Structure 1
Amino acid sequence: MKTSSLLVFNLIVWFLLLASHVFSNDYTTFKKLALPPGVTGPGSAVFDRAGEGPYVAVADGRILKWKGPDTGFVDFAYTSPNRTKKLCDGTNDLELGPICGRPVALSFNYKSGDLYITDAFFGLLVVGFNGGLATQLSGGYKYLSGIDVESYTQNVYMTDARYTPDSTGRVLKYDPRTTRVTVLMSGLAGGGGPSVSSDRKYVLVPDYVNKKIQRYWLQGPKHGTNEVFLANFGSPKNIKRAANNGEFWVALEKPCQGLRVNGSAMVLQIVPLTQFLETTVAVVQETNDALYVGSSHTDFVGVYTN
């Protein structure tokens, strides 16, 4: 077979294999985990090392924990020492942010059990497994929009970027042993959340405005450099590791989808998030064969199952 014919044949096989995964009919059953009355903005959904949760950060300054359908969501933690339930519970007023707090993203350190939090007003914080008032670790940021804790090294990776096209966004690493913050990347346009690969070799970072995902290499011959990982699939927000090692779920705002990709930048699956078409999607978190979908504008967490 000639080289050109072989190339075409391989492309056809690749497309057929891809299509069989991408256009699957998984995750067609949908239900809502309702937030307490008047509460909105679950832009994150994480689970602890015991599999309990989801824990969600909401607009009124709290982190809530799901305790099952009979109990619903209950208070777990908060970020502002000045917060009062009378003033803050149920509020969506950003003017009250310096008093009530506004947690944006969450990530567990599965080795210690601690929950790390990024807050629009209080920066990087951490709270123990008993919850309560979180401890501020580092402040003075523009807007910490995303976070991922790599539990083996315990390093914390964050994005400091607003959802604006000014290209001033950064990827940061916080080392809990030294409390030092290092800038790994700059020049990003728009916020979102990073995700470290399961082999700890690189971190994927959304470049929201430019509709790209960047890869920053943490190890290997490309250490300290970045490259375009995936482009032109929509506006990526938070990226989370999938259940399968080496795979990720990307929350796409436009179009409103969950995208499963592997470390070779191959799209394995596209899940239309049709119940969120009238709003935006912030995160897609896979746990126990279900997709937990959070939005900064809803009063529920969506759960997609087979």
Structure 2
Amino acid sequence: MAHPRDTGRRTALVPRRFVALGGRGPEDVVADARGRVLTGLEDGRIVRVDGIADPARTRVQVIAETGGRPLGLELLPDEALLVCDARRGLLRIALEDGTAGVLADTVAGEPLRFASNVVALLDGTVYFTVSSRSYPLEHWIGDLVEHTGTGRLLRLAPGEKEPEVLLEGLQFANGLAPSADESFLVVAQTGVRRLTRYWLAGPKQGRAETFVDDLPGQPDNLWRAPGGPIWVALAGPRVAALELLHRRGPAVRRGAARLAVRTPFRPPGTTGVVAVDDEGRILHHLQGRRARFRMVTSACEADGRLILGSLWERGLAVCELPASPD
């Protein structure tokens, strides 16, 4: 499909409260069956937030430390947590005692760096993304400016120690979510404002195609609501000047990237979140302007609320869930 089919109303994205975490950069948020929210911080801590909908009951607990920089998270049925650590690779944390083990730290003979988002399917297969092979997390903006196309989609089969490369050449591969029937994966490409579908079953198995193109912002993490849509965090708005730069030659883009990584960054005040179904229709489009909570990099449902994470902020934003579309 060429453009998103917007079947939902555009509504305001208005945080109702802020939950401080005592650390910066809760980049990804996921919720467990009890409505508790888990996220990773810049200093390597994994924290769990209980009672997030009620200020009187809210409690923040440190449950593990990765020793690196945790990004994407995925809860497993056996009380474990998968973690994409930008420095250490793909980790598995036992939630009962917080111990962390490395599942994969190399791929195709090179160190696994900048692992971004991860999902585990019912058969135990793990899929995860690498955003860039050219820039570390600290210089993420350099990859978006240079437009390197070095993102990957990887698969780690049960019992295996070396991931398999499924897709290469992705423009800052980021969020990842399965379809309801697990017949395909949805992969966010931040650098081209696109969601890509990778088929896991059926006549198109192993093929990739555009799922939703021309999103109203730069997609970051994805999270599938149980029995509901896929929430897509829009970390930044569309930047026309950046898209023009992407049409220039590699030398021009590299020069611009060198400047970008040395220039102090402050996120714009425009934030957004969309929800899409398995047909690629946009069910909700939430947008905030002059927002106090900036750079929304993740969204999940928990305890009847929409919870937002951010690479930039020092806590989580709690919003009202939009009404279900007709």
Q: Would you say same fold, with TM above 0.5?
A: yes
- Counterpart among 102, 120, 134 of residue 136 in structure 1: 102
- Counterpart among 249, 258, 261 of residue 276 in structure 2: 261
2:198 is matched with which residue? Answer: 216
Q: CA deviation at 1:128?
A: 1.3
Q: CA deviation at 1:29?
A: 5.8
Check if 1:298 corresponds to 2:313: yes
Check if 1:34 corresponds to 2:16: no
2:186 is matched with which residue? Answer: 204
Segment drifting more, 220-229 vs 156-165: 156-165
Structural RMSD (CA): 2.1
Higher RCO (C-alpha 8 Å, min separation 6): 2
Q: Secondary structure at the match of 2:192?
A: coil
Looking at structure 2, the residues matched to 232 and 186 of structure 1 have their Cα atoms a distance apart, in angstroms, of 21
Aligned residue pair count: 262
Instruction: Check the 8 A contact 1:291/1:304 in 2, yes or no.
Output: yes
Check if 1:157 corresponds to 2:120: no
Looking at structure 1, the residues matched to 25 and 131 of structure 2 have their Cα atoms a distance apart, in angstroms, of 19
Check if 1:107 corresponds to 2:78: no
Q: CA deviation at 1:22?
A: 2.2
Select the structure that is richer in strand: 2
Instruction: Check the 8 A contact 1:192/1:237 in 2, yes or no.
Output: yes
Q: Secondary structure at the match of 2:116?
A: strand
Looking at structure 1, the residues matched to 27 and 206 of structure 2 have their Cα atoms a distance apart, in angstroms, of 30
1:147 is matched with which residue? Answer: 118
The residue type paired with residue 225 of structure 1 is R
Gaps of 5+ in 2: 106-110, 133-139, 238-270, 322-326
Instruction: Check the 8 A contact 1:124/1:137 in 2, yes or no.
Output: yes
Instruction: Check the 8 A contact 1:35/1:72 in 2, yes or no.
Output: no
The residue type paired with residue 220 of structure 1 is G
Instruction: Check the 8 A contact 1:22/1:267 in 2, yes or no.
Output: no
Instruction: Check the 8 A contact 2:49/2:61 in 1, yes or no.
Output: yes
Looking at structure 2, the residues matched to 270 and 75 of structure 1 have their Cα atoms a distance apart, in angstroms, of 33
Q: CA deviation at 1:24?
A: 5.0
Q: CA deviation at 1:45?
A: 1.2
CA 1:71–1:238 in 2, change beyond 3 Å: closer, same or farther?
closer
Q: CA deviation at 1:257?
A: 0.9
Instruction: Check the 8 A contact 1:34/1:72 in 2, yes or no.
Output: no
TM-score (norm 2): 0.75
- Counterpart among 277, 287, 300 of residue 285 in structure 1: 300
2:219 is matched with which residue? Answer: 236
- Counterpart among 70, 73, 80 of residue 60 in structure 2: 73
CA 1:277–1:209 in 2, change beyond 3 Å: closer, same or farther?
farther
Looking at structure 1, the residues matched to 34 and 157 of structure 2 have their Cα atoms a distance apart, in angstroms, of 26
Instruction: Check the 8 A contact 1:284/1:294 in 2, yes or no.
Output: yes
| Partner deviation per Cα, 1:41-78 (whole Å, 9 max, x = no partner) | 00111123x42421110001110111344563121011
Instruction: Check the 8 A contact 2:72/2:221 in 1, yes or no.
Output: no
Instruction: Check the 8 A contact 1:243/1:287 in 2, yes or no.
Output: no
Identity %: 28
The residue type paired with residue 129 of structure 1 is L
Segment drifting more, 218-227 vs 272-281: 272-281
The residue type paired with residue 16 of structure 2 is F
Looking at structure 1, the residues matched to 35 and 120 of structure 2 have their Cα atoms a distance apart, in angstroms, of 18
2:256 is matched with which residue? Answer: none
Q: CA deviation at 1:296?
A: 0.7
Check if 1:54 corresponds to 2:20: no
Looking at structure 2, the residues matched to 242 and 287 of structure 1 have their Cα atoms a distance apart, in angstroms, of 9
Looking at structure 2, the residues matched to 22 and 72 of structure 1 have their Cα atoms a distance apart, in angstroms, of 34
| Partner deviation per Cα, 1:91-126 (whole Å, 9 max, x = no partner) | xxxxxxxxxx1111111112x221001111110111
2:10 is matched with which residue? Answer: 23
- Counterpart among 151, 161, 164 of residue 169 in structure 1: 151
1:93 is matched with which residue? Answer: none
Q: CA deviation at 1:289?
A: 2.9
Matches within 5 A, 1:117-136: 117-136=83-102
Q: CA deviation at 1:131?
A: 3.8
Looking at structure 2, the residues matched to 157 and 279 of structure 1 have their Cα atoms a distance apart, in angstroms, of 28
